[in-house]
Structure formats: structure tokens, C-alpha cells
């Protein structure tokens, strides 16, 4: 079971939803990076359950423990191990699903692959695995900000049929965190909150789209063939639980434009930096960043585990009706925001280090 991601900046996540804990080992972080547990905890707090009425009511502090790799406030260059202990697991809520396959969940496919599965909360298929990603992402975020001035910010762009009107260039962290759904459009956010609350009352769930921008990304990150920057971003973001779609820049909307409409004209800015007047490319051309903001979107399906009665089968193939118990998010979008940011940070940090490895001679 592969649980490692990245080339030079690598992470390996571990743990299960209802085991003793979850966590991550980060390898390849440069030494002498100032890092505190509070910086890691800040992002974990944005991901943790029970933070609002829109999320699962599982009560976990998700308190991070840095076990290695940091000394006197600085990274040492050795592996950074971070542990988060599970304290509010209630495995009994999954007893009625022990031998039953939840529709659109990983229950059946996991058993088909391994012939066995951890039915307590879904094991590694649980979104609780993303704690390790967010913790590692916090380290990558600090590295990018310190070394290159990069800022990564995500928000909820849509929930079900409700679309926000967002100026990507003007979005701020304060605007995203101003409401519990993490949407910087206040009017749309209020409607999203009502829709999610209604879905919870109905025993149902909703999906939507998270948009993310990475600002001040230097030109030159990425590779021109298989390791294109957008390809690695797609792989990272589609590995998030419930993620079903990925676009960069204009995405599918770009197919409705002509080449003359879609091309981003180059200009020389007053500061002597080449830039573009538009950003249909989403900051990536030929698989390599061009210095403009990197803009991506991730589509998330409605949460698979719902309390509404659903037809399914058990392990013996018998038709059964499932009414799932337990504490589940009626919409993953608000908590997915820091996870999307983390995965974008991890990809950018890895490619920043990879570029440093080849950028050893002055350009011609």
C-alpha cells in the first residue's frame, strides 16, 4: 500500500481513523528552517473535525507532537516525524457496516484489492489520513514562504448548485476564514451554509468545488514531459479523498475559446520581469510555471456515508438496506480547503527543491 509522495521533499503518512493515531514523516526538508509546532497546529485546526455545525461532530483536538527533526526551533535536515493521537474514536458506530458495503465508498474496492479491510471508520480510506498531509503541508508552506515568498490560498468556490463570485486576485485569508463554509463571497456563503444544514437534516450530503491560487510562484518550476507541474498537481489533488475532478487555469472553459482568445500575451513589466496580460494558462505553460499565479480547481463528490436509507449488498451478496450511523461531514468542502492548500504546497516545495538542484549554472 503506497503511502509516500514526493521526490526531494517527501512525506509518508501512517495510521488509521480508529487506531491509536495518525501522522507523517517528512524527509528532505532543508535544515535551519524556523519551525514551531504552533505553525503546524494552525493548519491542523482548520482541518480538524467538530469545528462548526457544518462538519462531523467527532471531537478531536488533533494536537500535533513533533517527535524528531526539529531542534531549538530549527529543522535539522533529518526526518521530521509528527504524530496526532486519536482520542474520540467510536468504532461501535460502524458495527452495522462491518459486513456491508457503503455505496460509493472504498469498502468494496478495498476488500476486492486486499481481501480484507479495516471496517472501523474506513481505515486508511478515511479522510483522517489527511492529517499527515496537512501537517507536512504546513512545513512546505513555511519553506515556500521563507525561501521564495510564495503564498498558497484556497477557498470554496461552489457547493451543489450554488456558485460564488470570486476575484482570484483579491481573495485574502481573512476573507476565506470569515465564515464557516470558507467561501469569500458572503452572499453565496450564507446560501451554502443553509444548503449544507438542510442536507444534514435530510440525512444526505453535498459536493462542490475548491479553488486555489499560489501567488509569487517563480518561473521555471516543473518539467516538460511526464513531471509537468500541472500533472503533479493533478496527481496530488486527485489523491485527496472524495476528489473527482481537476482543472488548471481556464480548464474546460478554455475549450470554448479560440487560440487568439485563449493565448496569454507576454509583456515586459516596469520591474524588468516578463509577465502576461491574462492568465488563461493558470500560471503553467509547457508543464513549467511562468511566474503568474498558479490557479487550480478541485471537484469533490458528495460525502458517500449518509444516514438516509440506501440499497446495497453485504459480503455474502445479500441485498440489504443500509442506514449509516456515526459522525460524518454532510459536505467535505469546508474542511477540504486546508487539505487542498497542503497538497499544492507539497508539490510546489518539491519542485522548488528540484529546480534548485539543476539551477547551478548562470543562464546563457
The CATH number for 181's domain is 3.60.150.10
Report which DSSP code applies to 346: H
Tens-digit pLDDT profile for residues 151-165:
999 999 999 999 999
Tens-digit pLDDT profile for residues 77-121:
999 999 999 886 555 556 667 778 888 888 888 888 888 777 666
Q: Is residue 363 part of a domain?
A: no
pLDDT, position 49: 74
pLDDT, position 310: 85
- pLDDT (average), residues 25-35: 98
Confidence of residue 212 (pLDDT cuts 50, 70, 90): very high
Domain range holding 17?
4-358
Q: Is residue 138 part of a domain?
A: yes
Tens-digit pLDDT profile for residues 249-301:
999 999 999 999 999 999 998 778 899 999 999 999 999 999 999 999 999 99
Q: Is residue 140 part of a domain?
A: yes
Pair 68, 81: CB distance under 8 Å: yes
Farthest-apart Cα atoms in the chain, separation = 70
Listed in sequence order, the residues at least 6 apart from 125 whose beta carbon sits closer than 8 Å to its beta carbon are 105, 106, 107, 110, 241
Tens-digit pLDDT profile for residues 306-364:
888 888 888 888 898 887 776 678 999 999 999 999 999 999 999 999 999 887 777 77
pLDDT, position 50: 64
Cell of 74: 530549527
β-bridge partners, 212? 154, 296
- Is 20's pLDDT higher than 60? yes
pLDDT, position 312: 87
pLDDT, position 268: 92
- Structural domain tally of the chain? 1
- Is 57's pLDDT higher than 60? no
Q: Among positive and negative, which fits the CA dihedral 31, 34, 38, 41?
A: negative
Cell of 339: 487539505
pLDDT, position 327: 65
User: Of 215, 221, 214, 225, whose CA–CA distance to 350 is shortest?
Assistant: 221
Q: Is residue 364 part of a domain?
A: no
Confidence of residue 55 (pLDDT cuts 50, 70, 90): low
- Is 60's pLDDT higher than 80? no
Q: Which of 44-53, 75-84, 298-307 has the highest mean pLDDT?
A: 75-84
- pLDDT (average), residues 172-177: 97
Burial of 280 (0-12, 13-18, 19+ CB in 10 A): middle
Q: Is residue 132 part of a domain?
A: yes
Cell of 304: 458517500
Mean pLDDT across the chain, nearest whole number?
Answer: 91
pLDDT, position 162: 98
Q: Is residue 239 part of a domain?
A: yes
- Is 245's pLDDT higher than 80? yes
Q: Is residue 130 part of a domain?
A: yes
Amino acid at each position: 500500500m503506497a503511502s509516500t509522495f514526493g521526490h526531494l521533499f517527501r512525506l509518508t503518512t501512517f495510521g488509521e481513523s480508529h487506531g491509536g493515531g495518525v501522522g507523517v514523516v517528512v524527509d528532505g526538508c532543508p535544515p535551519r528552517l524556523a519551525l514551531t509546532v504552533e505553525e503546524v497546529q494552525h493548519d491542523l485546526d482548520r482541518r480538524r473535525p467538530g469545528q462548526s455545525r457544518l462538519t462531523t461532530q467527532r471531537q478531536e483536538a488533533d494536537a500535533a507532537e513533533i517527535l524528531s527533526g526539529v531542534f531549538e526551533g530549527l529543522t535539522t535536515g533529518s526526518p521530521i516525524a509528527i504524530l496526532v493521537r486519536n482520542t474520540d474514536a467510536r468504532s461501535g458506530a460502524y458495527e452495522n457496516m462491518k459486513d456491508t458495503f457503503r455505496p460509493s465508498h472504498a469498502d468494496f474496492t478495498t476488500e476486492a484489492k486486499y481481501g480484507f479491510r479495516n471496517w472501523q471508520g474506513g481505515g486508511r480510506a478515511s479522510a483522517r489520513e489527511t492529517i499527515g498531509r496537512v501537517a507536512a503541508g504546513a512545513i512546505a508552506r513555511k519553506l515556500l514562504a521563507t525561501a521564495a515568498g510564495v503564498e498558497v490560498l484556497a477557498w470554496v468556490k461552489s457547493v451543489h448548485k450554488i456558485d460564488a463570485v470570486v476575484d482570484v486576485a483579491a481573495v485574502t485569508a481573512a476573507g476565506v476564514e470569515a465564515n464557516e463554509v470558507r467561501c469569500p463571497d458572503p452572499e453565496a456563503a450564507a446560501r451554502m451554509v443553509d444548503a449544507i444544514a438542510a442536507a444534514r437534516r435530510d440525512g444526505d450530503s453535498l459536493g462542490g468545488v475548491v479553488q486555489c491560487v499560489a501567488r509569487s510562484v517563480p518561473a521555471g518550476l516543473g518539467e516538460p514531459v511526464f513531471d509537468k507541474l500541472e500533472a503533479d498537481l493533478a496527481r496530488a489533488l486527485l489523491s485527496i479523498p472524495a476528489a473527482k475532478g481537476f482543472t488548471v487555469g481556464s480548464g474546460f472553459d478554455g475549450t470554448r475559446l479560440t487560440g487568439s482568445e485563449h493565448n496569454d500575451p507576454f509583456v515586459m513589466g516596469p520591474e524588468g520581469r516578463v509577465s502576461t496580460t491574462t492568465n488563461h494558462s493558470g500560471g503553467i505553460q509547457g508543464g513549467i510555471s511562468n511566474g503568474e499565479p498558479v490557479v487550480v480547481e478541485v471537484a469533490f463528490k458528495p460525502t458517500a456515508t449518509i444516514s438516509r436509507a440506501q440499497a446495497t449488498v453485504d459480503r455474502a451478496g445479500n441485498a440489504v438496506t443500509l442506514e449509516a450511523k456515526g459522525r460524518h461531514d454532510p459536505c467535505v468542502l469546508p474542511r477540504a480547503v486546508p487539505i487542498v492548500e497542503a497538497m499544492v504546497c507539497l508539490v510546489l516545495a518539491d519542485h522548488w527543491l528540484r529546480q534548485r538542484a539543476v539551477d547551478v549554472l548562470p543562464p546563457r
